[in-house]
């Protein structure tokens, strides 16, 4: 554990809390991609298969439970809650996320550290997380106007990955050139996907105007 890893975990957690707050307080999921949320739930389930078999620390176990349950809660709200589900914009959220799942699975089968079920699932979760935000970014671009809480949710998700890259760099220089190329490359791809959003988020903050993305 180091400061960058901790800040990454906290920004990730904060992004989830912001989204839950938006949905719970407003009883609306307008501007939120259900497909992205389903992808994240799949990411966490596949990555944390070791929850009940490998104990690392209380902090580690709690974070795993939090991310699995919070992602499941968001999906439940968007699919089952009588008021929230009516606000879901199905016509705009049309990204074919099954393609991302299939592509991530193929990459995991071809590029992994060890050919075991758990390692394949871990690699699959890394590849899928790198692109899981795509349906959300496409939805925001189509709707153009982004409310504050949704914008903050996406911003903190991007910040989480940026902190994790700093964490990997720190570990490389302090832990005998520790490196794992799969999360490194996937993390760089994931961060690059946020570049355009970060640019317009910064402009809206600088000019104190509502965040709008180009069509």
pLDDT at 139 over 80: yes
CA dist 133 to 78, 85, 156, 194, Å? 17, 20, 12, 9
Residue 1 has pLDDT above 80, yes or no: no
Q: What is the pLDDT of residue 145?
A: 67
pLDDT digit string, tens, across residues 104-132? 999 999 998 889 999 999 999 999 999 99
Tell me which of 27-41, 105-119, 177-191 is least confident: 177-191
Residue 215, pLDDT > 70, answer no
Instruction: Tell me: pLDDT of 187 over 90.
Output: no
Region 14-22: mean pLDDT is: 93
Q: What is the pTM of this model?
A: 0.91
Q: What is the mean pLDDT of residues 190-207?
A: 85
Lowest mean pLDDT among 37-51, 96-110, 111-125, 190-204: 190-204
**Per-chain mean pLDDT for the chain:** 90
Q: Is the pLDDT of residue 176 over 80?
A: no
């Amino acid at each position: 554990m180091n400061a960058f890893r901790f800040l990454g975990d906290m920004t990730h957690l904060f992004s989830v809390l912001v989204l839950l707050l938006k949905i719970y307080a407003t009883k609306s999921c307008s501007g939120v991609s259900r497909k992205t949320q389903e992808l994240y739930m799949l990411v966490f389930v596949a990555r944390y298969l070791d929850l009940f078999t490998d104990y690392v620390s209380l902090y580690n176990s709690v974070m795993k439970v939090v991310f699995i349950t919070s992602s499941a809660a968001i999906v439940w709200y968007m699919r089952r809650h009588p008021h929230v589900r009516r606000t879901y914009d199905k016509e705009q959220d049309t990204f074919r996320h099954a393609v991302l799942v299939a592509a991530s699975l193929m990459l995991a089968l071809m590029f992994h550290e060890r050919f075991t079920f758990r390692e394949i699932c871990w690699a699959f979760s890394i590849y899928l997380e790198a692109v899981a935000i795509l349906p959300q970014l496409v939805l925001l671009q189509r709707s153009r106007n982004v409310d504050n809480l949704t914008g903050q949710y996406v911003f903190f998700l991007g910040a989480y990955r940026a902190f994790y890259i700093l964490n990997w760099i720190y570990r490389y220089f302090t832990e005998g050139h520790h490196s794992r190329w799969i999360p490194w490359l996937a993390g760089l791809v994931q961060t690059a996907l946020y570049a355009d959003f970060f640019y317009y988020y910064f402009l809206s903050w600088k000019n104190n105007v509502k965040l709008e993305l180009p069509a």
